Amino acid sequence: MAPEIEDLLDEKGRELARKKRQPAWTAPMLAVLADETFSDPDWIFERKLDGERCLVFKSGSRIRLRSRNKKELNDTYPELVDALEKQPIERFIADGEIVAFERSVTSFARLQARIGIKDPNEARRSGVAVTLYLFDLLHCDGYDLTALPLRSRKSLLKRLLEFRGRVRYTPHRKGAGEKTHREACRKGWEGVIAKRGDGKYVHARSKDWLKFKCVNRQEFVVGGYTDPQGSRVGLGALLVGYNEDGDLRYAGKVGTGYDRETLRDLAGRLRKKERKKPPFSAVRPIPKGVHWVTPDLVVEIGFTEWTEDGRLRHPRFLGIRTDKDPKTIERERPGRR
């Protein structure tokens, strides 16, 4: 085993680190929404970052940034590519989140100015500074590390890579989940991610990673929009839903959270997707001035709660998600440990 890694692993770690060719792609581990907060010395708790998930693949001087649905992000975040090229480790796969800050809070709304840009020069001129927070190490110098306990993987990540400038290490707190969540909500953070300290990295959604949210928010699929009224431009509201049992379930109208530029952008996108029949399994009542669209656009929506009839209460638009497959968007339901 490469001396850099071998010197940092105990005997058990050497058994679990498997010699394996670095893959060109590996699916990310995903968290489940928690039904309640908890404290447990066997768990660690990280800040839930409000950004775009990113898997980093380094092979020599070549860097590849990929979203959770395999989209290439190199031209969207060229300054991160520059920073990662300087890492001392020749080959590795790391997991993280790309964020933009609004003061001390990560802001997905601010990151929207970068998401979707394909010209690296335009990205650099955007005026939106981005930071990559890494929180896991999956592969390094020809060894698959996913069978190692999370604490060991995070230790290797912190000691093998260099963290400065635009590339940062994601710190964690051991055991104190409830206190961490209270502090996160007081500071205006999105929430906390709870992770089982001895858990393996699995390439799927797992209850070994749990989300404690400070606000209700999730992704939805757009299935229609309404005409603007009065001085409103572009559109009036989005009609959104989620997948369940093979159907697209209607979750309600979203009429707030837009600026004029976003309204025009959304209207331009959606006019090209119009269709005659609704994509939802049922919509009652049908809104006035509605236009149905092909359901392939994903948006993130904040809301206060779900109503008893499965509608969003006080929903507000937060941004477009280009990193999510519309067919995978389901209603988030709490899961126990």
Q: Which residues are catalytic?
A: 48
Q: Tokens for 109?
A: 């709304």
DSSP string, 36-61: S---EEEEEEEEE--SEEEEEEEETT
Neighbour count for residue 21 (Cβ, 10 Å): 9
Q: Tokens for 99?
A: 């964020």
Which of 168, 161, 201, 145 shows the shortest CA–CA distance to 9?
145
Give the integer Cα–Cα distance in Å for 9 and 184.
33
Which of 97, 96, 95, 94 shows the shortest CA–CA distance to 51?
97
Do 303 and 313 contact (CB within 8 A), yes or no?
yes
Which SS3 state, helix, strand or coil, does residue 186 take? helix
Residue 197 backbone phi and psi in degrees, to 5? -60, -30
Do 39 and 176 contact (CB within 8 A), yes or no?
yes
Which SS3 state, helix, strand or coil, does residue 3 take? helix
Q: CB under 8 Å to 259, separation ≥6 — which residues?
A: none
Give just the sign of the alpha carbon dihedral 90, 96, 97, 102: negative
Do 292 and 278 contact (CB within 8 A), yes or no?
yes
Q: Tokens for 51?
A: 């950004």
Which of 295, 323, 297, 298 shows the shortest CA–CA distance to 69?
323
Give the integer Cα–Cα distance in Å for 202 and 260.
42
